[in-house]
Structure 1
Amino acid sequence: MLTHLTLNNFKIWRGTGQMQLAPLTLVFGTNSSGKSSLIQSLLLLRQTVKSADPNVDLNFGNPDSGDSVVLGQFADVLCRHGAATETVKAKQIGIEFGWRPMVPGAEAGTFTARYVQGRGGSADLAYLRIGSAGRGFTAQLGRHGAYKLLPESARYWSKQSPTFKPQRSFSFSDAAVQTLGAEADRILSVGPMLLDELTRVIYLGPVRRLAQRDYIWNGRSPGSIGDEGAQAVDALIASGVAKQDATKRGLPSPAAAELFNGTVQWLARMGLADDLQVRQLGRSARYELLVVSNGEASNLKDVGVGVSQVLPVVVAALFAKRGSIVIVEEPESHLHPVAQAELAEMLASVSHDRGVQFIVETHSEQLLRRVQTLVARETVKTNDLRMYFVEREGKMAKLQRLEVDPFGTIRPWPEHFFGDSAGEAREQAKARAERMRRGASNA
């Protein structure tokens, strides 16, 4: 689980301060205020540590490589109005986050990095610290591209060497391992922990893949559903076929069918479907997903867009293994308000029951209101919830934590959080009174 995030001079963020994260973290705010940049920083690090190029320090993304985020060059990511802090210079990008594994007794860790502009618009790692309970290291850029290392708990820095340059902002080359000798274990052991945590991230952007009339299925359940929920229907088909096979044989519903059954349950609660069906087209590898409502089955392509947009969100939540981090932007897209409220129920339920962390960027007032109700009912504990409001303050982004008391009351309530409903009511009353006055004078 990610425990906090801190950004300095990252896109619109001069500085976020330490943003505490919880099992259920909700981020609200106005358009173009910087909400998505918070998420992009984590996706940027995820695609960096998974990069095929060991020499990359920050993988800003390539649209032809299927990267999660494509951010351009260093100058595009560096805040145009950056400022120096005690640790980060004005022309440096600073990213820090902490994590705590869900396994009891496992060690927590912290990743802290600062980057400067390199050649050709790339990023060069200026400082890196990855630490976990006496393990880990600090690396710092010196002269002529050389780095010096300080193992966790060591008293002295190593001599500078280009060999000590961290790869992908977290690991080291074989040559560095040989040079480190006995110190290698303490330095290298924390890297796999970081890699494991970032590969647990499942990301769904604000626009999920649109429904298709049929899908080619290879006969297996996918290992991941992919960004934009590209493999969500494949996972659902695999689970649905497992259920059908068991039904044909007169057997109980197997564990492989839980994803299908759970998806049907939540779609029904949202009022979007009574059931789902998977149908093979002849003897081909093509399958269609049917949505059953009021006794009629329709192809997924022929039902409302809201179903196809929320389906990957539901599947991602139920597909995620314990300890996964599901990051979703605008899960409420194209959903009726009643369904948005039930979406909050699903997020809270899955987070509590299955140990999945959700970081959600949303504009949904109904989702927020239901979360408040869940807190009041003591279904959601305040310690397991963090909510933030992001807004523009001049040319900068401002992060405001929304405190929630045990009764679900939010303080402070940001001005124009969801528009000015009271003001609209006043204007409506004024317009009504004016029309009645004109009608009386014309009588």
Structure 2
Amino acid sequence: MISSVHLKNFKPFANQFLSFKPLTLLSGLNSTGKSSVLQALLLMRQSYQQGLLENQGLALNGDLVCIGTAQDALFEGAKDDFISFKIVWRNDKQGIWNFSCDREKDVLNLASPPVTSDIYKLSLFNQKFHYLQAERLGPRLFSQMSDFQVQKLQQFGAKGEYTAHFLFINENQTIPNRSLGHPQEESLILREQVEAWMGEISPGTRLKINPKQDIDLISLQYSYGDSNPYRSTNVGFGISYTLPIIVAVLSSPPGSLILIENPEAHLHPKGQAKMGELLALAASCGVQIVVETHSDHVLNGIRLTVYRGKLDPEKVQLHYFDRRKQGTEFITEVISPQIDRNGRIDKWPEGFFDEWDNSLEALLEPREE
């Protein structure tokens, strides 16, 4: 499990240290660096998968993330053309990667001694990893099948494109974390648990999986109670956007690492709060979750889980990304509020999920005639 990440000369960060816990929530204004933190981790993984990270360098473009060239990755005010990543894990293992930058190239050369090989056995680099980006696949008549991605690598795809195939292969497996079992569903079989948690988004949801193995395509249909099955294109976007997250969380064993962007996308407020609860419960079971979100409902779902005693507040890390003016330049500042056992947060910096209060205060002011 990752305990900290230290970035130097990378995108908006000249020198930024970030503490990580089982559940790490990244929030803040648009284009302040939240995604850049996730991208640093994704660059490491994709470079390892491309066979470059161990001895050669960092691939800025690949299946997980596309940055461009070194010019795009380098901190604008960098005095030297190098980028450095340091990652520390909770078992006292750490890796330091320094990369030299040719600003026109899209592969950065490794400029530090190779890290020990056991680092590459950890969750960031092995099969206990999932990343679901903000732009997931919406409703489709058919999705892709891939034995390589699903059966060999145990992956869903960054857009969730292999979720239906993964469910088809693993629907009768028992979920590895019993504590994630939905309270209204006795069975711990993956399919039943997925349907139960999907019911928090859209009550009564049932899945029908239709593989077309001769053409490597698969379709999902949804029904509600005794209704006829509906094509996925005839149900809400929130169903398709949420399904990969629920499947990833429920199927991941302890020691897994899941990176999620905007889990609240296309969800109603109650669904967003329940999503926060599910992520918090997963963190209590030994799964590490790093989530980027703009949703106060997701945050409140996490706070309620802490308040109910189902997640130790020491397992939650909040980071708020702000931008402030320094001289003639704007710099990113990271503020890290703390949460207590009552789900209360010790400080609320301006812009940290405070828009509801700001709007209410404005509405309570006497209106000028």
1:420 pairs, out of 355, 359, 363, with 355
Q: Is the CA contact (8 Å cut-off) linking 2:52 and 2:58 kept in structure 1?
A: no
> What SS class does the counterpart of residue 328 from structure 1 fall into?
strand
Structure 1 residue 257: Cα displacement: 8.3
Q: Does 1:116 align with 2:112?
A: no
Taking a change above 3 Å as real, the CA distance of residues 56 and 210 of structure 1, as seen in their structure-2 partners, is: farther
Taking a change above 3 Å as real, the CA distance of residues 80 and 306 of structure 1, as seen in their structure-2 partners, is: same
Per-residue Cα deviation, 1:199-255 (whole angstroms, up to 9, x for no partner) = 233111001122321346578963221222221111112344889xxxxxxxxxxxx
> What SS class does the counterpart of residue 111 from structure 2 fall into?
strand
Match of 1:192 in 2: 118
Q: CA RMSD in A?
A: 2.8
Going by fraction, where is helix more abundant, 1 or 2?
A: 1
TM-score after normalising by structure 1: 0.71
Match of 2:138 in 1: 210
2:298 pairs, out of 367, 387, 390, with 367
Q: Is the CA contact (8 Å cut-off) linking 1:240 and 1:278 kept in structure 2?
A: no
Q: Does 1:320 align with 2:310?
A: no
Structure 1 residue 359: Cα displacement: 0.3
Q: Is the CA contact (8 Å cut-off) linking 1:96 and 1:113 kept in structure 2?
A: yes
Taking a change above 3 Å as real, the CA distance of residues 409 and 57 of structure 1, as seen in their structure-2 partners, is: same
Q: Does 1:271 align with 2:202?
A: yes
Alignment of 1:81-230 (within 5 A): 81-82=77-78, 90-100=80-90, 107-118=91-102, 120-121=104-105, 122-127=107-112, 139=113, 166=114, 170=115, 190-199=116-125, 200-215=128-143, 217=145, 222=151, 223-230=154-161
Structure 1 residue 280: Cα displacement: 5.5
Structure 1 residue 272: Cα displacement: 5.0
Q: CA separation in 1, counterparts of 2:102 and 2:252?
A: 37
Q: Is the CA contact (8 Å cut-off) linking 1:10 and 1:93 kept in structure 2?
A: yes
Structure 1 residue 57: Cα displacement: 0.7
Match of 1:305 in 2: 237
Per-residue Cα deviation, 1:281-315 (whole angstroms, up to 9, x for no partner) = 79987543221225323122210001100111111
Structure 1 residue 425: Cα displacement: 2.6
Structure 1 residue 123: Cα displacement: 2.0
Structure 1 residue 41: Cα displacement: 0.4
Identity of aligned residues (%): 26
Taking a change above 3 Å as real, the CA distance of residues 299 and 98 of structure 1, as seen in their structure-2 partners, is: same
Work out the number of aligned pairs and report it.
Answer: 345
Q: Is the CA contact (8 Å cut-off) linking 1:391 and 1:399 kept in structure 2?
A: yes
Larger radius of gyration: 1
Q: CA separation in 2, counterparts of 1:41 and 1:430?
A: 45
Taking a change above 3 Å as real, the CA distance of residues 113 and 344 of structure 1, as seen in their structure-2 partners, is: same
> What SS class does the counterpart of residue 403 from structure 1 fall into?
coil
Unaligned stretches of 5+ residues in structure 1: 84-89, 101-106, 128-138, 140-165, 171-189, 244-255, 436-443
Q: CA separation in 2, counterparts of 1:94 and 1:287?
A: 42
Q: Which is further off, 215-224 or 298-307?
A: 215-224
Match of 2:73 in 1: 77
Alignment of 1:244-283 (within 5 A): 258-279=189-210
Match of 2:333 in 1: 398
Taking a change above 3 Å as real, the CA distance of residues 271 and 77 of structure 1, as seen in their structure-2 partners, is: same
Match of 2:44 in 1: 45
Unaligned stretches of 5+ residues in structure 2: 175-186
Q: CA separation in 2, counterparts of 1:322 and 1:423?
A: 40
Per-residue Cα deviation, 1:154-208 (whole angstroms, up to 9, x for no partner) = xxxxxxxxxxxx4xxx4xxxxxxxxxxxxxxxxxxx3133244322331110011
Q: Is the CA contact (8 Å cut-off) linking 2:173 and 2:189 kept in structure 1?
A: no
Q: Is the CA contact (8 Å cut-off) linking 1:115 and 1:125 kept in structure 2?
A: yes
Per-residue Cα deviation, 1:137-162 (whole angstroms, up to 9, x for no partner) = xx2xxxxxxxxxxxxxxxxxxxxxxx
Q: Is the CA contact (8 Å cut-off) linking 1:217 and 1:285 kept in structure 2?
A: yes
Match of 2:19 in 1: 20
> What SS class does the counterpart of residue 45 from structure 1 fall into?
helix
Q: CA separation in 1, counterparts of 2:346 and 2:12?
A: 25
Q: Is the CA contact (8 Å cut-off) linking 2:284 and 2:310 kept in structure 1?
A: no
Aligned partner letter, 2:156: I
Q: CA separation in 1, counterparts of 2:97 and 2:48?
A: 13
Q: CA separation in 2, counterparts of 1:218 and 1:125?
A: 33
Match of 2:183 in 1: none
> What SS class does the counterpart of residue 58 from structure 1 fall into?
strand
Q: CA separation in 1, counterparts of 2:202 and 2:245?
A: 16
Q: Is the CA contact (8 Å cut-off) linking 1:48 and 1:56 kept in structure 2?
A: no
TM-score after normalising by structure 2: 0.84
